[in-house]
Amino acid sequence: MNTQTVSLLLENKPGALARVVGVLSGFGYNIVSLTAAPCGDLSLTRTTVVYETEADPRSYARVVAKLNKLIPILSAVDVTGQPVLAQEMVLARLHAFNRESAATAMQIARDFGARIAGPAQAGLELQAAACPSMMDEFASRLRSCGDLELVRSGLVALVSSAADAMPLD
């Protein structure tokens, strides 16, 4: 399975995001992650969508071309493999763990630059943000510390021409 990541700028109007999802489902693609929020101009929404496909990566241009033809979309850019600032946020809550696993969880939090989001009843709440593969590892390591409740935001990508931006993993 291949994944493609597309950054979209669209009008902040009812049905705009539904049209994006409709195009992707029409191609038979499975959406893995979809984030959307108003940007600096509240009449616009910045959306990052990651989807899986068995199609040849050369066919990705067809999807982006189709998205760019939709009226509510101002721009659709395939950022797969391009230098972008891309992160995913994870909120984690650990329940009922002992002193040893608490120390391990705190070390894991430090290793991943996580911050304590708040105290949980008989547990710990953490927040971290990084590329999806780092968040996979963060979640995997936390599972050894106790009963884990976890939620992920989905990928957010900002197209960048800066030389220090990282290729999307």
Same domain, 45 and 73: yes
- Domain total in the chain: 2
Q: Which domain holds residue 63?
A: 2-80
Q: What is the mean pLDDT of residues 138-158?
A: 93
Q: How confident is the model at residue 69 (pLDDT cuts 50, 70, 90)?
A: very high
Q: Looking at 27, 61, 80, which one is the last position of a domain?
A: 80
Q: In this structure, what CATH number is given to the domain that contains residue 155?
A: 3.30.70.1150
Tell me the pLDDT band of 160, cut-offs 50, 70 and 90. Answer: low
Q: Report pTM.
A: 0.81
**Whether residues 26 and 75 fall in one domain:** yes
Same-domain check for residues 69 and 22: yes
The three-state secondary structure class of 66 is helix
Does the pLDDT of residue 131 top 70, yes or no?
yes
Kind of pairing between the strands at 83-95 and 30-38: unpaired
Q: Mapped to the 3 state alphabet, what secondary structure does 102-156 carry?
A: HHHHHHHHHHCCCEEEEEECCEEEEEEEECHHHHHHHHHHHHHHCEEEEEEEEEE
CATH number, residue 12: 3.30.70.260
